[in-house]
Chains A and B, each alone.
Chain A
Amino acid sequence: MSEVIFLVDHSAGKITKAAGELATYAKSIGDSVAVVFADNAQPIVDQLNTFPVDKVITIAGEFDKYGPAAIADGLAQLLTDRKPAAVLITSTANGKEIAARASVITGSGIITDAVNVDKDLITTQSVFGGSTTVHATVTKGVPIITLRANSIEATGATSSAAVEIFAATISEAAKLAPITSSTPVVKGGRPDLTEASIVVSGGRGTNGDFKPVEALADALGAAVGASRAATDAGWYPHSNQVGQTGKTVSPQLYVAAGISGAIQHRAGMQTSKTIVAINKDPEAPILEIADFAVVGDLFNVLPQATAQIIARKG
C-alpha cells in the first residue's frame, strides 16, 4: 500500500487536535505516515499512539529557529526520498507556507484549504464564502494538500507505530530569517477558535457587552468568536475575529448572536455543520442561512438558553 505522509503540528510539546484528523485522512487513503519535526520527538510520538498511524518519521534540527522555511526544506527532502502518494498538512499560516515552499522545491502541485480528500486524492474545497464547492486533483509531482482543521472527526485507534529517523539539511536560504524570540499564545480556559466543535460569536448587536455570548459559550464548552464590526470597535480581540479577513471556522455548531451576516462574515463560517442565529432584525441575512433562527433580543434569548443548558446538565 502506498504511503501518505502527514505533518504533525505541535506546540509546547503537545500535538494539536488536527494531527489526529490528518492521521484519519491519511489512513483512509493508504499507509498513514506521521512526520514529526522536533529535537525531542518521543513525547510527541507517544501522543500519536491513539490515532491510526502506521509509521512515524522524526526529523531533528534547528527547525524552531528557522521556522516554516526550514521545515519545508526537510519535508521536500523527505518527499524526494520516499515518494509518497500524497502529503497532508493542516491549513494554518505555517502549514500553508511549508506547503508552498515544498511545492516549489519538489515541483509538485498544491491544493490549500480542502475540507475533504478522498481515496483517489480528489479534494473538496468550499470557495467564495461557501457559495461554491470545488472538486480538484493535483496533476504533477507529489500532491501537497492542506486541510482545514475540524473538517473530519478523528478516528481513535491503538497503534504502536515503528519510528524511523530521517536526516535533513537546512539550506542557506532557509536560514536567512532566524526567529530571535518567541511568545506562545496564552491559552485561555476556552477551546481554540479554529479547533472548537462549537463556536458562539457576537457582533454589533452586543453593543460591546460580550458577557451573554461568553456565558453561553462556557455552558456549551465552546470557543468565542466575533464579527469584524465587534473587533474593529475594540469590543473583542482581533484574534477572535471570524470572517474573510479573520479566522475561518467550520464547527459542528455555530451560534451567531447579534451578527447581521455580511458576506465577509459568512465566508468565515458558512461551512459550519449547523448554524443558529439570534438577531433583532428579521431581515438580517444571517437568518437566511441559519438552520434555526430566533428573531429577538440576544440579551433575553442567550441568558435564557444558557440557564436552560446549565439546568439540563443538572
Chain B
Amino acid sequence: MKIAICIKQVPDSWAEKKMAGGVLDRAGVDAVLNDLDEYAVEEALRIVEANSPTKEAGEGSGHTITLISMGPERATEAIRKALSMGADDAILVTDPSLAGSDALATSLVLSEVIKKGNYDLVLCGTESTDARMSVIPAMISQRLGWAQLTFAGKVAVNPAANTVEIERVTEFGNQVMSAKFPAVLSVVEKINEPRYPSFKGIMAAKKKPITNMSLADTGVGSSDVGSAAAWSNVKEALPRPPRGAGVKLTDEGNGGEKLVEFLVEKRLA
C-alpha cells in the first residue's frame, strides 16, 4: 500500500493566538505538529504494522507512508516529528504565493500533490487546532473523486481486496462505511494513542527525505491561491472584549445558596 498523510504545522494550542492583517499571526508563536494529525500518523503506522511481514513500518514492510504538508520552510519541524514517529518520507509545498490561502486553495494544492503519488489511502486528522474548519478531508475527496471515509473511530483495511471499512462517529450516531481504494480518511482522536518518538526514531528521522515542491511543481496556478484568491474575506478581527469583572466569593458554608441567588437574579433558574 501507498499511504499519504496530510499534516499541518500549527501554533502551539497552549499559545495565545492573535490576528494580523486578517490572518493568523504565525510568526510570533511556537509552532508544532497539529495534535489531531498525530492520530492519523499513528493510525497509518498501525495499518502498515498489521500488514507487514516484519510487523514494523519502514523498509521491509512492503508499504510506504508519505507525509504531505503545505506551509513555510519552518514546517519541516512538524514534519520531522511525524517522521520520527515512523513515516517514511515527506513532501512539503512551500511558496510565497501560498500565504493567506483559504481551505479551498489548500485542498486544491494538496489534491494536486496527491494525484501525482498513486496513493491507495490518504489519512487526515479531523481538523487543525488553529482554523478548526474540519473541511479539508471532504474537499480533497470531492476534488479527487475518491471515496470519503471521515470521522473514523475505527479503521479496518484489507490490502488483498483493496478495501477499507470504517466506523464513522458523529453526533447522529455511528455508521459503518466501506469503500474500495483509493479513499480519503479522517480519524477522530479517540481512535488510538499516538506513540512517542523513540530515540532511534528521532535519529532515523534526520536522514529521511523531505522533497520540497514549489507551487509551480504542483501544477496549480498562482492566481488560484493566496489571500487574493480567497473566496471569503475577513472584514475585521477584534480581540474579544474582556468579560466584565465577575463576582468572586469564597464559600463560607452558603456558597451554593449564593450561587442560586445569582442564577435567579439572571433568570437562569
Contacts and interface: CB of A to CB of B under 8 A. Distances in A.
Question: Does chain A bind chain B?
Answer: yes
Interface of A: 11, 67-69, 72, 92-94, 96-97, 99-101, 103-105, 107-113, 122, 126-141, 173, 176-185, 192, 194, 198, 220, 238, 244-245, 252-253, 263-264, 274-276, 278, 282, 287, 289-297, 300-309, 312
Contacts of A292: 246-247, 259, 262
B66 to A, nearest CB: 22
B103 A183 contact: no
Contact of B16 (A72, A131, A303): A131
A227 B145 CA distance: 38
B231 A108 contact: yes
A42 B238 CA distance: 44
A220 B233 CA distance: 41
B259 A301 contact: yes
B164 to A, nearest CB: 9
Given A139-B231, A173-B145, A309-B263, 14 more contacts: A69-B141, A93-B134, A93-B151, A93-B170, A93-B171, A94-B172, A101-B148, A128-B18, A177-B183, A185-B171, A301-B251, A305-B256, A305-B260, A308-B257
Q: Which of B19, B126, B135, B151 has the most CB of A within 10 A?
A: B135
Nearest to A246: B189
Interface string B61-94: 0000000000000000000000000000000000
B218 interface: no
Interface stretch (B40-48, B173-181, B204-212): B173-181
A177 B148 contact: yes
Contacts of B35: 245
Nearest to B190: A238
Name the interface size band of chain B. 35 or more
8 contacts: A131-B240, A177-B179, A178-B179, A181-B175, A185-B171, A294-B259, A301-B255, A305-B256
Contact of A11 (B172, B240, B256): B172
B216 interface: no
A264 B145 CA distance: 35
B183 A109 contact: no
B231 A294 contact: no
A229 to B, nearest CB: 15
Interface in B143-188: 143, 145-151, 165, 168, 170-180, 183
Interface of B: 13-14, 16-19, 24, 35-36, 102-104, 107, 126, 129-130, 132-139, 141-143, 145-151, 165, 168, 170-180, 183, 189-190, 230-240, 243-244, 246-251, 253-260, 262-264, 266, 268-269
Given A97-B148, A178-B178, A309 B260 contact: yes
Given A138-B232, A304-B257, A176 B179 contact: yes
Contact of B177 (A67, A278, A297): A67
Contact of B232 (A139, A289, A312): A139
Contacts, number: 264
Contacts of A290: 246, 248
Q: Which 5 A-B pairs have the closest CB atoms?
A: A296-B251, A304-B256, A109-B231, A100-B135, A176-B147
Nearest to B135: A100
A306 B237 CA distance: 40
Given A292-B246, A293-B248, A308 B236 contact: no
Contacts of A126: 240
Given A96-B134, A112-B135, A295 B251 contact: yes
A177 B166 CA distance: 10
B255 A173 contact: no
Contacts of B173: 11, 182-185
Contacts of B19: 132, 134
A291 B240 contact: no
Contact of B139 (A100, A130, A312): A100
A307 B246 CA distance: 24
Contacts of A178: 177-179
Which of B150, B165, B168, B263 counts the most A-chain CB atoms under 10 A from its CB?
A: B263
Given A93-B151, A294-B258, A180 B176 contact: yes
Nearest to A10: B172
Contact of A312 (B129, B237, B247, B269): B269
Contacts of A252: 268
> B138, B174, B239: which has the most chain A beta carbons within 10 Å?
B138
B133 A96 contact: yes
A14 B149 CA distance: 26
Nearest to B11: A128
A81 to B, nearest CB: 19
Nearest to B18: A132
B234 A136 contact: yes
A291 B246 contact: yes
Contacts of B235: 122, 135-137
Given A245-B189, A291-B246, A296-B255, A134 B174 contact: no
